[in-house]
Structure 1
Amino acid sequence: MLYIITVCIAAAVLWLYLRWVAVRNYWAKRGVPHLPPNPILGSLTFLQQQNAGVWMRRMYERFKTPYIGIWLFWRPALIINSPELARLVLVKDSANFRDRFVSGGDADPIGKLNLFTVKDPAWTNIRRRLTSTFTAAKLRILQNVIRSKSKELVQRIKREQKSGIHLKSLYADYTTDVIGISAFGVACDATLTGKSHLRSVTEEFMKYSILRGVGWCSMFFFPEVVDLFRFKLFPKSSTDYFKKVYRAAVAQREANTDAAGEPRDLLDALLKIKKESDERNESYSDDFIVAQAAIILSGGYDTSGSLLAFITYELAYHPELQEKLYEYLLEAKEVNGSDDFTSEQLADMTYLNSVIKEGLRKYSPMSWLDRVSAEDYKVDDKLTIKAGTPVYVNGIGMHYDPDYFPDPDKFDPDRFSPENEKDIKPYTYMPFGEGPRICIGQRFGLMTMRFAMVSIFLNYRVIPLPEMPKPVDITIDERGIFYSPGQVISVEFVPRV
């Protein structure tokens, strides 16, 4: 008996060793540049120690090659560093790369069925139906709400400026309010007070624990274990809140005689989708509808809030750029007769948008774009990847490539002036992604940021605080997937009048 057990163990060890040798040599056999994998984590030794975007940037700088081989534990994957290959993956051959690799589990319908993680054909259907909600015409209806909230930012700063303000927290209060009111019709006062029921939910989204960190890493890099350990994308308290809001909305809005008209906000659009699916016997579950609301809030409030914090901080350290922006906005205000700009006017403000675009270049919240190949795919004459291979387009790597953006650590909005922007090489600048899966909330996010920046920089000058790091020394959230500040960053707000 002992002999049989010994033989079985030896056979298992031998199989494991041979399997490991095959994994270790996978990219070498194909002539693909790579770093030796860790026997357990593969290339993912950076997890919980270094932000994924920072790691992507360093991999780009280490390998100035069109692609790099990596391992997600023992699964081979490919990083794309080439704008030409990025175009193929994201646009030309997007039919082969319809799905993201990231995935939720069957035990977590809110995490699995949302627009960010759901697979085709469900993704195509829900994306097509939701796109009309984010058109310029539909968003124009929301401009008064967003403008009002942006002015509340000025009131909040006036009240709290002497105590020091956590920039990301301040802007997250604002973006939570904007999304809560304009998308879901939920009354929110976090911009003024720092507190609201919905703000408690978004704060819960980003609370770190070892278990949540492992869960998020699994969803992004090892989805097979998500069901095994029953990991959830959102905390239970958050999903319970969304379900409660959804049930209340159903009861209230279905009783409204105008309910059959055009959707007024995102929640109206979701309710309409649910009704139409029931009529067609498609029967989208309530969880499916709630999942879309949850991901749009979680994906919008933190990314926009982080970006506003980064841009404000950069301008504090570049007073000449800040003054240029102020003079530009002041002139626009004088021409308009007030600072009550429309969303169309803001969209046409070239220098304001150049500042935002440069912020997006340096601090793209989703700094890489994941896809999975549906079939065997010929990358070039030397390499064909197998069906099921994850592919990562290294957006932030290209954003910091001096061949595309000279002196890339410098904050320089003039890169995006009308005369310079036309020279930017296609597919080297992709803060919202490209192709069919380009960010659905791009217009909404930009409008939210424009209103906030106009209110802030027409009313305040921001200057550095002595104990704060320079922009280049800011710690990026080491345990995070998204590119956001890993430390408190603050500035001094000095009233303009």
Structure 2
Amino acid sequence: MIRKDFGDVRGNDIFPYISRCTLDIMGATAMDQKFDSQRKKDTPYLRDVSKTCEIIQFRAVRPWLWPDFIFHLTLTGQKFKSLMTTLHNFTDSVIKKRKTMSPVLDNDTASGSVDEIYWHGKRRLAFLDLLLTAQQNPENNLTDADIREEVDTFMFEGHDTTSASLGWTTYLLGRHPQYQVKVHEELDRIFKGDKRRAVTTKDLSEMKYLEMCIKEALRLFPSVPYFSRKISTDLVLDETHTIPAGSNVVITLMPMHRNPTTFPDPETYLPDRFLSENAAKRHPMAYIPFSAGPRNCIGQKFALMEEKVILANLFRNFKVEALDSLDKITVMTEVVTRPKNGFRVRLIER
């Protein structure tokens, strides 16, 4: 499919393909559901999630819609409620179905830890299965509604954000062939020219340069462009400025990640910024694409592994040419940082 759609000299937008790929991965790992969206293309779940994110962004920039009682009176609010009901009903149905398999879970958990069950192949557990296993312990006090919230969060947060990071990394490597060559060399060394072998955890640990390329893409285009925190104690900025305790603040990552004091020549894509000796010179909070502290992204390790697997399969099979210069890409900093009109690329078989 990808060979047919991207061989033309005019290229094609790779972003929808990446989005459908990550949805299939998230469906399998979060709920053990096979969406098969890469073949079907028009997936109701993906369509509803996309519409929901659009409404969230629409509401976020209109303060008069922040109060729930006003928002739910609008047509947009009613549409949002309908979408959320549909998505919740889908997750509830999956939970109900998986709970019928609880005897299997009981037998598995009786003979080993969750890690042993997962890694030794007695039965592959999805994220949902782990939550259902935890629910069997009354001390955890997990309701079905709690589990649904966790699974929906995993799906929502893990799909769009990872798609964005993959898209920007692919685009930037497609615009910088000198770095893409190094990625090819690293992958050729790891896989010894085998383009079909499955990626192992050992392989992932050896993809040092590819990881640097991903991190530099996240510096320039963080998947989540901003996040908020509530200040617990007075925060003194300088002699004349103090943020009082109890204030809500928004941290915007693009200006922070492009601070020339911390990142010289900040607008340039330079993966070597993340060589260990260079990263060690920076303040640990100067680069926080997954936020930081006790409320940081719990899925960041999973996301990085997922991105390495996808990019390794892409770049060991193809040379990527990004056909549009950055000044022609309209960057949208909404719920996620994405290109308004996608990424037009051409794939050349290696």
Q: Do they superpose with TM above 0.5?
A: yes
Q: Deviations over 1:293-330 (max 9, x none)?
A: 01111111111111111111111211111112112211
Name the SS of the counterpart of 2:319 in structure 1. Answer: strand
Partner residue in 2 for 1:301: 159
Structure exhibiting the larger radius of gyration computed from Cα positions: 1
Deviation at 1:446?
Answer: 0.5
Partner residue in 2 for 1:171: 18
Partner residue in 2 for 1:410: 268
Kept in 2: contact 1:377–1:385 (CA 8 A): yes
Measured in 2, the distance between the counterparts of 1:471 and 1:397 equals 17
The answer to whether 1:204 aligns with 2:66 is no
CA distance 1:211–1:440, change in 2 (3 Å): closer
Deviation at 1:207?
Answer: 2.2
Partner residue in 1 for 2:187: 329
Measured in 2, the distance between the counterparts of 1:386 and 1:305 equals 37
Measured in 2, the distance between the counterparts of 1:267 and 1:362 equals 33
Kept in 2: contact 1:183–1:267 (CA 8 A): yes
Q: Deviations over 1:156-199 (max 9, x none)?
A: 312422465422211111111111112211123223x1437xx4
CA distance 1:398–1:338, change in 2 (3 Å): same
Measured in 2, the distance between the counterparts of 1:297 and 1:235 equals 13
The answer to whether 1:195 aligns with 2:19 is no
Partner residue in 2 for 1:291: 149
Q: Which moved more, 1:246-255 or 1:380-389?
A: 380-389
Measured in 2, the distance between the counterparts of 1:160 and 1:195 equals 13
Superposition RMSD on alpha carbons, in Å? 2.9
Deviation at 1:283?
Answer: 4.8
Q: Deviations over 1:333-359 (max 9, x none)?
A: 229997433123312322111111111
The answer to whether 1:373 aligns with 2:258 is no
Provide the identity percentage: 25
Alignment match of 2:290 (pick from 428, 432, 441): 432
Q: Superposed, which structure 2 residues align to 1:261-410 within 5 Å?
A: 261=110, 262-263=113-114, 264-276=125-137, 279-280=138-139, 283-334=141-192, 339-374=197-232, 377-380=234-237, 382-410=240-268
Q: Deviations over 1:221-246 (max 9, x none)?
A: 78961354345586332222112111
Q: State the TM-score, normalizing by the size of structure 2.
A: 0.83
Deviation at 1:216?
Answer: 4.1
- For residue 164 of structure 2, what is the amino acid of its counterpart? S
The answer to whether 1:476 aligns with 2:331 is yes
Kept in 1: contact 2:229–2:249 (CA 8 A): yes
- For residue 345 of structure 2, what is the amino acid of its counterpart? V
Measured in 1, the distance between the counterparts of 2:105 and 2:168 equals 42
CA distance 1:476–1:242, change in 2 (3 Å): same
Gaps of 5+ in 1: 1-155
Kept in 2: contact 1:369–1:433 (CA 8 A): yes
Partner residue in 2 for 1:485: 339
Measured in 1, the distance between the counterparts of 2:204 and 2:182 equals 16
Measured in 2, the distance between the counterparts of 1:187 and 1:419 equals 42
Deviation at 1:443?
Answer: 0.9
CA distance 1:455–1:249, change in 2 (3 Å): same
Measured in 1, the distance between the counterparts of 2:212 and 2:20 equals 25
Kept in 2: contact 1:215–1:226 (CA 8 A): no
